[in-house]
Amino acid sequence: MAEVVLENVEKRFGDVRAVAGIDLTIRDKEFVILVGPSGCGKTTTLRMIAGLEEVSGGDIKIAGRSVTHLPPRDRDIAMVFQSYALYPHMTVAKNMSFSLRLRGMPRDQVATRVRDVAAILGLSDHLDRKPRQLSGGQRQRVAVGAALCRQAGVLLFDEPLSNLDAKLRVHMRTELKRLHQSVQSTMVYVTHDQVEAMTMGDRIVIMNAGVICQVGTPLEVYDRPVSRFVAGFIGSPPMNFFEGELVPDGSGVALALPGDLRLSLPRPELASRAGRKVSFGIRPEHISVAQSGRPLSDLAWAAVASPARVPAVIEVVEPLGHRVVVTARGEAGTFQMETEIHAGVRQGDRVDLWFDMNRAYLFDGETEATL
Partner 1 sequence: MSSRGSLFWRRIRPSLLSYAGLAPFLAFALFPFYWMLITSLKADPNLYDLKRNPFWFSSVDGNTHQPYHKDIIVPASFSEGVIQWKVAQGAATTRSDSVQNPEPIAFIGAQKIESPVDGRLAAIRVPSGKIAHPNEVIGFIEVASPSLTHYRYLISTPFYRWLRVSLVTGLVVMLITLLLAVPAAYALARLDFRGNRMLGIVIFLTYLIPPTILFIPFSQFVGALKIDNTIWSLILTYPTFTVPFCTWLLMGFFRSVPKEIEERALLDGATRMQILRLVVIPVVLPGIITAAIFAFTLSFQEYVYGLTFISSTINRTLPVGITVDMVRGDVYFWGPLMAAAVLGSIPVVIVYALSLDYFISGMTTGAVK
For residues 46 and 362, which CB has a smaller minimum distance to partner 1 in the complex? 46
- Dist. CA 196–CA 204, nearest whole Å: 10
- Report the candidate in 296, 332, 342, 281 with the shortest Cα–Cα distance to residue 311: 332
Among 8, 25, 83, 272, binds partner 1 (CB under 8 A): 83
The mark string for 308-347 relative to partner 1 (x by CB under 8 A, - otherwise) is ----------------------------------------
Helices and strands (H, E) in the chain, number of each type: 8, 21
- Report the candidate in 204, 205, 148, 149 with the shortest Cα–Cα distance to residue 179: 148
- Report the candidate in 237, 236, 197 with the shortest Cα–Cα distance to residue 213: 197
Binders of partner 1 in range 105-134 (CB under 8 A): 130-134
- Dist. CA 302–CA 296, nearest whole Å: 9
Tell whether residue 150 is a contact of partner 1 (CB under 8 A). Answer: yes
Q: Give me the amino acid identity at 99.
A: S
For residues 131 and 225, which CB has a smaller minimum distance to partner 1 in the complex? 131
Tell whether residue 212 is a contact of partner 1 (CB under 8 A). Answer: no
Coil, strand or helix: which one is 210?
A: coil
Among 78, 261, 314, 317, binds partner 1 (CB under 8 A): 78
Beta bridge partners of 363: 279, 370
> 9 with 22: CB under 8 angstroms?
yes
Beta bridge partners of 251: none
Kindly indicate which of the ranges 95-103, 224-232, 302-310, 342-350 contains the residues binding partner 1, using the contact rule CB under 8 A.
95-103
For residues 85 and 274, which CB has a smaller minimum distance to partner 1 in the complex? 85
Sequence-separated (6 or more) residues with CB below 8 Å from residue 210: 11, 17, 18, 19, 20, 22, 40, 41
Among 60, 86, 246, 282, binds partner 1 (CB under 8 A): 86
Tell whether residue 168 is a contact of partner 1 (CB under 8 A). Answer: no
Kindly indicate which of the ranges 12-20, 97-105, 237-245, 265-273 contains the residues binding partner 1, using the contact rule CB under 8 A.
97-105
Tell whether residue 89 is a contact of partner 1 (CB under 8 A). Answer: yes
Q: What is the DSSP letter of 266?
A: S
User: Shortest distance, CB of residue 158 to partner 1, whole angstroms?
Assistant: 9
Tell whether residue 84 is a contact of partner 1 (CB under 8 A). Answer: yes
- Report the candidate in 46, 361, 358, 334 with the shortest Cα–Cα distance to residue 230: 361
Which residues contribute to the site for partner 1 (CB under 8 A)?
50-52, 71-73, 77-79, 81-89, 98-99, 102-103, 130-134, 136, 139, 146, 150, 163
